[in-house]
Amino acid sequence: MAYLGRQPLVGNYTVLDALTATATDTYALTKNSVAVFPQTPANCIVSLNGVIQAPFSSYNISGSNIVFASALTASDSIDFITVLGDVLNVGTVSDGTIGLAKLSATGTKDATTFLRGDNTFASAGGTNTPNFSVYRSSNQTIANATTTTVIYNTKLFDTASAYNTSTGEFTVPSGQAGKYFFTAQVQWNTLADFDLTLIDIAKNGTRAVYGDINPNRYYNTISVNLLLELAVSDVVTIRVAQESGGSIDINGESYRCYFTGFKIIE
């Protein structure tokens, strides 16, 4: 009988060691005396007494054994047993034949995402999370010549709930170490001239960067920006100081005092 199709490109075809029929239904399958474990009766060709046997109904596979539907006799002849290969051995797949539905990756599979090395789909460019934006919604009094943490008491957003509106602290969440960009601003609620005002970004209570001005009625707003390398549980705060000779409020009106930060994509 001729095969009228394309020649298979790959295969793991194994002719097993010869078996001698006896008064039993179960026979060990080997190749060069090493046990063979076919994955299913359907990928075996079994010839008994010159007749190809039907898988499942005429025989089954149990581990490295073939189990015939009934016991054979010494007069039977097991002509050959061929294993056609592993169930999952698909060979070389043709170009352009695997669709998204065949992939095991998790996440949203569409035209806006890509497959990452950890077998998940992510948006192109990634996401700058954690991120947060907070502001001061009421005045805060700052004592003279005293470095004071600004308590930005109102959140616009905070993706990881990492900013504490009671303490003014941003704490790096578990698993989110990396580089973060921060920017902050304060505005003094006064038009008076005085000697000095300062704002800084502090990491774990130590100044990382600062800016200062001699404020007057035209220049009473000051800001600061910084990129920081942070570990899990590091704490970032915004602090101010002023030397007016008395207490001064920072302005809690219309988002004039704010603090924003986000983790950058690397």
Does the pLDDT of residue 198 top 80, yes or no?
yes
What is the distance between the alpha carbons of residues 169 and 150, in angstroms, rounded to a whole number? 9
CA-to-CA separations, 213 to 66, 187, 195, 241, 258, in angstroms, rounded: 89, 12, 8, 11, 18
Overall average pLDDT of the 114-137 stretch: 85
Query: What's the confidence (pLDDT) of residue 118?
Result: 84
What residues contact 34, with CB distance under 8 A and at least 6 apart? none
Task: Give the model's confidence band at 239: pLDDT under 50 very low, under 70 low, under 90 confident, else very high.
Answer: very high
**CATH code of domain 131-263:** 2.60.120.40
Query: What's the confidence (pLDDT) of residue 103?
Result: 74
What is the distance between the alpha carbons of residues 87 and 43, in angstroms, rounded to a whole number? 7
What residues contact 54, with CB distance under 8 A and at least 6 apart? none
Which residues are registered as beta bridge partners of 186?
Answer: 222
Condensed to tens digits (0 to 9), the pLDDT of residues 68-113 reads: 999 999 999 999 999 987 655 555 667 777 776 777 778 777 777 7
Overall average pLDDT of the 231-237 stretch: 98
Query: What's the confidence (pLDDT) of residue 6?
Result: 53
- Structural domain boundaries in the chain: 14-83, 131-263
Does the pLDDT of residue 265 top 80, yes or no?
yes
Three-state SS sequence of 84-140: CCCCCCCCCCCCCCCCHHHCCCECCCCCCEEECCCCEEEECCCCCCCEEEEECCCCE
Query: What's the confidence (pLDDT) of residue 149?
Result: 98
Residue reference for tokens 């924003």 = 260
Overall average pLDDT of the 178-200 stretch: 92
Overall average pLDDT of the 191-205 stretch: 91
Overall average pLDDT of the 134-140 stretch: 97
> Mean pLDDT over all residues of the chain?
89
Q: Which helix (H) or strand (E) holds 171?
A: strand 169-171
